[in-house]
Amino acid sequence: MTPAVPITCTKADLTPDFRDQYLATYRQMQSSRVLEEKLGSLYRAGGRIVGGVYLGRGQEAFSASVAMQLRRGQDVYAPLIRDQAGRMAFGEPITDALRTYMGAATGPMRGRDGNIHRGRPQEGEMAMISHLGAMVSVVAGALFAKRLRGTIADAVGATSIGDGATSTGSFHEAINMAAVEKLPIIISVANNQFAYSTSNDRQFACEDLIYRARGYGVAGWKVDGTDLAACLKVARSAVAAARAGGGPQLIVGTMLRLGGHGEHDDAAYIPDEVKFSKVGQDCLLVAEKFMIAEGWATKAEIDAWLKEARATVDQAVSLVSKEPIPDPYRESWQALSSSELVESWQL
Amino acid sequence: MPTIPILMPQLGESIAEATVVRILIEPGQRVDPGADIFEVETNKATMAVAAPCGGLVDQVIAKANESYAVGAALGSLHVSDEDAQALGFQNDPKAPIDAAQPANTDSVHFQFSDEDAIHDIQPKVEPIVGGLPVPAGATGASFISPRMRARMLELGINSSDLAGVAGTGAGGRVTVDDFETFLRTIEQHRMTPASPMRIAVADSMRRSWSRPLATVGSPVVLDAILAHRKKADPKPGPALYAIRALALALAENTAVAGRLIGSRIVHPRAIDIGFAVEVDDGVLVPVLREVDKTPLSTMVKTYNTLVEQARSRRLPNDVNRPGIATVTNFGTFGIVWATPIPLPEQNLVLGLGAGMKTPHWSAEVNQFIPLTMAELTLSFDHRILDGGGAGRLLSRVAELLQSPEKL
Amino acid sequence: MSVTYLEAIREAQFEALRSDPNVFVYGQDIGQFGGAFKATKGLAREFPGRVLDAPISEDAMVGMAVGAAVEGARPIVEMQFADFSSVGFNQIVNQAATLYWRTNTPCPITIRLPSGGTAGSGPFHSQSMESIYAHYPGLVILTPATVEDAYWMLLDSVKLDDPVIFCEHKFLYYHLKAESFGEHSLPIGKARVARPGRHATVVTYSAMVHEALRAADELQMEGYQIEVVDLRSVKPMDTDTILGSVARTGRLLVVGESFPWGGVSAEVISRVSTEAFHMLDAPPMRLNSKDTPIPYHPNLWKAHRPTVGSICDALRRLLRF
């Protein structure tokens, strides 16, 4: 089999409209990085964040590019672990992240679930469960229901997955089912080389994950995940194809996870030759260089955006830190929405 | 036409079972309501069992000369729906399973065969029956189920109150049904409330009776005491001599007044001795403190005060603190011999019978001489003390009573 | 004119599809073929696009139902056999069951599980899964034993805003008949006294209700009146009705077709022992299948599951105590 060639941008792609989206996407990426750095330092400081912190450092370009194409309120999005940038691009407020990490009673998860396990399903943002591959069919179901109820119009759904999760039965069942139903779903596979500590060669044997698209009978797109321009081009094309009735779209992006699985993991298992290879580039630095080279932004402007992002994050942290934590005596302890069916005898 | 069982009826108060002596019906026979169908014999009488309603005899289960518990099925009757309903038997569950033929078998994944009609086939392998194994001790008459216990607790009734109730349960156990029947029976009697004193004595005696108690007895000559008493001022009562003698004897070996708790004997801390005083509808036991260290003469006043206080039910609280043994002078009722029960927290009760002039052969003067004799009894917890030890203690008391001046 | 338990399942789905356009049915071979047991016979023709064949992907089927429910649909998922729901287990217990509690989003899905044994079905087409799902918070587990309950409880399930595991018994599909679907009487979560008695209580559900009623008939001839409680819904469990019955009889036997270790019968006994120890005349007992996979040959199968005979034996032991 011939190696799959990643799609790249040419000068012709860099329209003013493209430039505007590029800059907007970059700012989401930058904000995401700032927020995640803050989460990392709050975790290391100990105290308000219990449990782990799981960051998307290095995956911002790939994550945000797809989410930038989505319209909150119409489209469906099921982000995964390393999609802070995508979540922000989909319009998730910074406070949702902070409130969930800090277990604030005010957040969407109200202390019942934490960190990356958050969402607002009724607003089209699914809350991931930890079992990998499980969210693909949920997005497919939401699209199925939109079609059944006649509300689908040109809505799409998007979900993310990693190289490791492509090995699950759940992923296989769901992408196959979505293909059978020809649903407008975009599945972006972030191949960040490691699933926790397991490298690609222990994860799958096919030459390139993009070849799976053909096996499932879906469209496939391969892209360099550190190149924001290429990511945007692919995301725009894939989402447009799905909106136009082209069925499921599988995007495979390659990049390196710039850190451990979580902040508890120093990722000593990642060899230096991978860290210092092209796949190990930081997508933010690549984008910064690109913007300056294209004359789309100056270093001073980028620094000003950074300052602004930091101020916004600091403000949000200071707000959420003062918010109440959940009170076990006020918790309803009801797992059913039909409260008449909750057994009171054991309460 | 429903089929109902013919049950062994309740044949009278405290009857748990009866023996079938004659069978007056056979299968296929039509019986009228109330017709005699069995003759049965209890330990009290022979009587007939009547048909619960009219019907056709289905089977006769009972065999002549065999005993059946109350409620056991003796046979069965085909009866009308109304009679079955009236007698509280339901038949034909809602939504019966039609095991004959599946209703719809078009192209289904699994064809159901007649094999599915499993109901007539007995399993060839013993099924797993979960639940607790029945402990041997839990099946006897003494077992009281949690339900029974709860009902008794509710009514403030003790298991000893049910001694006269015949149980129809497994191993002769008294069931809640037996209990309710018993309660209905006693409702027909005149009932008066027991006094708090009576209830307290009953409670104390019931608790004490949970131990293996035994009694030994020995005669004692009272003449020395009587002579001593004549001269004494104030005059000690006969019981006080016995109290002091018992205290001195126990001071020599406190272990016999100890209590067995688990694998250890708990010795008394002081030789405090109580004495029984009859009061209205009961007995009170005031206690004299450190009797081994107090001479008889100095105790008389305290003793008399306590007797007065007990009779007027005005004992101070501290004398109610139990002693280590009790003396009871049942001789004051003219009783010669008795087996008193020790208090539940004590191991010993010394009893003093009525004194009687008795001819006694004297080898010295070679003739009968009159002596005043009485029986001393000692009831004790046999777990701690044996017959020999109890006898030695009793002899020592009798011996001390021969030298009242030393008491 | 009579209707079967299976017809009740089919008719309830017809009624659900007819009365609410948000309802759809998803499962393997349920479309034009009408389902492995014909529980959806003709429905695909009557409701085009709403009764759909699914790939053999139990995980994706349930995940899809959850996503659809979030979007306002009310899916009914048919597992071909209850046994195969184990492949969709993760989506049922971790996705569907946690959705409301985690995100305040109701999850109105109904998962139909053709459950229980029939002769010759063997280890993988005979299982009863109610206990394992009942273990997880966030699920409602229904186990109808009558034609009426099969119809009305399935309709109730579809209307309920929570995920329902609907355990319909395969043995009852064709064998159980009634005059009609009757009236909607008891709500979900309420047990029914299927037969009043005073000497012992049998608490059971699904097909075992009928075995227990036959056992009660048999023991009536020995002078015992056995009360049979049909749980209808194993979760929520109607503890009050169970306790009320035990208060009347003082003796409890719980019968379930599922495996013996833990489970619904253990739960009933735990509740009764804790809440009603003072009402008991004997230690509560239970009777389940054997602790092995379900055997293929009818001889073995009949000895593996509780039957009228083994229920009578267990009751006699209980009554003797």
Q: What Cα–Cα distance (Å) separates residue B223 from each residue in A286, B247, B357, B373? A: 125, 21, 10, 8
**Contact indicator for B214, B389 with CB cutoff of 8 Å:** no
Residue A341 lies in a domain: no
Partner-chain contact C102 A112, CB within 8 Å: yes
* Pair C158, C19 in one domain: yes
- 8 Å CB contact between C104 and C111: no
Which residues, listed in sequence order, are joined to residue B18 by a DSSP beta bridge? B68
Q: Which residues of C touch A140 (CB under 8 A)?
A: 60, 63-64, 67
Q: Using a CB–CB cutoff of 8 Å, tell me whether B136 touches chain C.
A: no
Structure tokens at B334: 């003219």
Q: How far apart are CA B81 and CA B72, in angstroms?
A: 22
Tell me if there are at least 3 CB pairs under 8 Å linking chains B and C.
Answer: yes
Residue A69 lies in a domain: yes
C77 & C222 share domain? no
Query: Confidence band (pLDDT; 50, 70, 90) for C163?
Result: very high
Is C278's CB within 8 Å of B115's CB? no
C156 and C9 fall within a common domain: yes
Tell me which residue of C54, C19, C25 sits closest to C42, measured CA to CA: C25
pTM for this predicted structure: 0.81
Nearest neighbour of C140 by CB, restricted to A112, A140, A336: A336
pLDDT of residue A313: 98
Query: Looking at residue C5, what is its pLDDT?
Result: 97
On whether both C115 and C259 belong to a single domain, the answer is no
Q: Which residue of A has its CA nearest to C96?
A: A138
Q: Are residues C150 and C216 in the same domain?
A: no
A80 located within any domain: yes
Q: Are A144 and C73 inside 8 Å of each other by CB?
A: yes
CB spacing of A141 vs C162 below 8 angstroms = no
Q: In chain A, whose CA is at the least distance from the CA of C94?
A: A129
Q: Which sign, positive or negative, has the C-alpha torsion B136, B141, B142, B146? A: positive
CA atoms within 13 A on the CB side of C6: 22
Predicted local distance difference test score (pLDDT) of residue B69: 77
CATH number at residue A220: 3.40.50.970
Would C186 be classed as within a structural domain? Answer: no
pLDDT of B120 over the 70 cut? no
Query: CA-to-CA distance for C39 and C30, rounded, in angstroms?
Result: 8
Cβ-defined contact of B110 to C282 (cutoff 8 Å): no
Q: Which domain holds residue C14?
A: 3-178
Residue C315 lies in a domain: yes
Instruction: Give the domains, in start order, of chain B with CATH numbers.
Output: 3-90 (2.40.50.100), 138-186 (4.10.320), 209-406 (3.30.559.10)
Q: Do C243 and C101 share a structural domain?
A: no
Distance from CA of A48 to the nearest CA of C (A): 20
Q: Report the SS3 class of residue C51.
A: strand
pLDDT over 90, % of chain B: 46
A289, part of any domain: yes
From the list C71, C80, C91, the residue with the least C-alpha distance to C133 is C91
The alpha carbon of residue C19 is apart from the nearest alpha carbon of chain B, in Å, by 26
Locate the chain A residue with the closest alpha carbon to C164.
A336
Mean pLDDT, residues C133-157 taken together: 98
ipTM for the predicted complex = 0.95
Name the residue range of residue A137's domain. 11-325
Q: Is B113 on the interface with C (CB under 8 A)?
A: yes
Task: Tell me which H or E stretch contains B69.
Answer: strand B67-69
The nearest alpha carbon in chain C to A336 belongs to C138
Q: Specify the length of chain A in residues.
A: 347
CB B4 within 8 A of CB B74: no
Residues of B in contact with C298 (CB under 8 A): 115
Residue C215: both structure tokens together: 């056992």
> Are C62 and C152 in a shared domain?
yes
Distance (Å, whole) CA B1 – CA A238: 76
**Are the C-beta atoms of B258 and B347 separated by less than 8 Å?**
yes
Query: Sign of torsion, CA B246 B247 B248 B252?
Result: positive
Interface residue B321 vs chain C (CB under 8 A)? no
Would you call A76 and C67 a contact, using CB atoms and an 8 Å cutoff?
Answer: yes
Residues B100, C286: contact at Cβ < 8 Å?
A: no
* Inside any domain, residue C187: no
Instruction: Count residue pairs from A and C with Cβ separation < 8 A.
Output: 159
* d(C-alpha A166, C-alpha A182), whole Å: 20
* Residue B305 CA, distance from chain mean position: 37
Q: Is B154 on the interface with C (CB under 8 A)?
A: no
Kindly state whether residues C147 and C8 are assigned to the same domain.
Answer: yes
Where helices occur in chain A by DSSP H, the ranges are 16-45, 60-67, 84-89, 94-101, 134-149, 169-181, 211-216, 228-243, 272-275, 283-294, 299-321
Q: Assess whether C117 and C206 both reside in one domain.
A: no
Residue with tokens 């190149």: A227
Amino acid at site A242: A
C13 plus C111 within the same structural domain: yes
Strand residue runs (E) in B235-390: 259-261, 264-266, 273-275, 277-279, 282-284, 287-288, 325-328, 348-352, 356-362, 367-381
State yes or no: is C125 an active-site residue: yes
Q: Which chains touch B (3 or more CB pairs under 8 A)?
A: C
C170 and C253 together in one domain = no
CB-side neighbour CA atoms (13 Å) of B3? 16
CATH of the domain at C263: 3.40.50.920
Question: Final residue of a domain: which of C178, C202, C227?
Answer: C178
**Helical H runs in chain C?**
5-19, 43-46, 58-70, 89-90, 97-103, 130-134, 147-159, 170-175, 208-220, 239-249, 263-275, 298-304, 308-320
Mean of the per-residue pLDDT values of chain B:
84
Chains that touch A (3 or more CB pairs under 8 A): C
Angle between helices C208-220 and C308-320 (to 10 degrees): 60
Q: Please list every residue in chain C whose beta carbon sits closer than 8 Å to the beta carbon of residue A345.
A: 239, 271, 275
Tell me which residue in C60, C70, C99 faces A177 most closely, judged by beta carbons: C60
Whether residues C86 and C147 share a domain: the answer is: yes
Task: Tell me if C119 and B113 make a contact (CB, 8 A cut-off).
Answer: yes
**Cα(B25)–Cα(B6) distance, rounded to whole angstroms?**
12
Please give the tally of structural domains in chain C.
2
Q: Is residue C129 in a domain? A: yes
Under the banding of pLDDT at 50, 70 and 90, the label for residue B15 is low
Domain membership flag for residue C219? yes
* Contact C182/B at CB under 8 A: no
Is C271 domain-assigned? Answer: yes
- Asked if residue A338 belongs to a domain, the reply is no
A74 found inside a domain: yes
> Which pLDDT belongs to residue B47?
84
CA–CA dist B24, B9 (Å, integer): 16
DSSP H or E stretch at residue A332: none
Give yes or no for B185 touching C (CB within 8 A): no
On chain A, the residues whose CB falls within 8 A of the CB of C63 are 134-138, 140-141, 170, 174
Contacts of B348 (CB under 8 A, 6+ apart): B246, B256, B257, B324, B325, B326, B342, B378, B379, B380, B385, B393
Q: What's the average model confidence in pLDDT over C124-135? A: 97
**Residue in A119, A120, A134 nearest the CB of C95:** A134
Whether C258 maps to a domain, the answer reads yes
Q: What is the Cα–Cα distance from A142 to A157, expressed in whole angstroms?
A: 8
Give the tens place of pLDDT for each residue, B198-250. 998 999 999 999 899 999 999 999 999 999 999 988 889 889 999 999 999 99
State the Cα–Cα distance between residues B181 and B171, nearest whole angstrom: 19
pLDDT at B173: 81
Three-class HEC string of C5-25: HHHHHHHHHHHHHHHCCCEEE
B94: phi then psi, degrees, rounded to nearest 5: -60, 150
**Average pLDDT, stretch C98-119?**
96
Peptide bond between residue B127 and the one before it cis (omega within 30 degrees of 0):
no
Question: Taking CB atoms and an 8 Å cutoff, what residues of chain C touch A121?
Answer: 70, 99, 103, 105
DSSP 3-state assignment of B50?
A: strand
Residues of chain A positioned with their CB less than 8 A from the CB of C94: 129-131, 134
Nearest CA in chain C to A157: C67
Q: Is the pLDDT of residue B102 over 50?
A: no
Question: The dihedral of CA B367, B372, B378, B379: what is its sign?
Answer: positive
User: Do C and A make contact, counting contact as 3+ CB pairs within 8 angstroms?
Assistant: yes
C260 and B107 in contact by Cβ < 8 A? no
pLDDT at position B139, please? Answer: 44
Pairing status of strand C192-195 against strand C177-178: unpaired
Q: What is the pLDDT of residues B44-69, one digit of tens each?
A: 678 888 888 899 999 898 898 888 87
CB contact under 8 A, C174 and B103: yes
User: For residue A91, which of A139, A28, A138 has the smallest C-alpha distance?
Assistant: A28
Interface check C124 vs B, CB under 8 A: no
Helices vs strands, H then E, count in chain A: 11, 7
Q: Where are the beta strands (DSSP E) in B116-250?
A: 213-221
Chain A: give the shortest CA distance to residue C88, in Å: 9
Instruction: State how many domains chain A has.
Output: 1
For residue B109, name the pLDDT band (cuts at 50, 70, 90).
low
B338-359 confidence digits (pLDDT tens): 999 999 999 999 999 999 999 9
Chain C nearest-CA distance from A317, in A, is 22
Would A3 be classed as within a structural domain?
no
Q: Is C294 on the interface with B (CB under 8 A)?
A: no
Residue C183 lies in a domain: no
- How confident is the prediction along chain A (347 residues), in pLDDT tens digits per residue? 556 789 999 999 999 999 999 999 999 999 999 999 999 999 998 888 988 999 999 999 999 999 999 999 999 999 999 999 999 999 999 999 999 999 999 999 999 999 999 999 999 999 999 999 999 999 999 999 999 999 999 999 999 999 999 999 999 999 999 999 999 999 999 999 999 999 999 999 999 999 999 999 999 999 999 999 999 999 999 999 999 999 999 999 999 999 999 999 999 999 999 999 999 999 999 999 999 999 999 999 999 999 999 999 999 999 999 999 999 999 999 999 999 999 876 54
> What is the reported pLDDT for B141?
67
Residue with tokens 């391969």: A222
Q: Which of C154, C178, C202 is the last residue of a domain?
A: C178
**Cα separation, C83 vs B47, whole angstroms:** 61
Q: Which of A74, A99, A187, A338 is the mutation pick for testing C, counting most C CBs within 10 A?
A: A338
Q: Which of C145, C178, C211 is the last residue of a domain?
A: C178
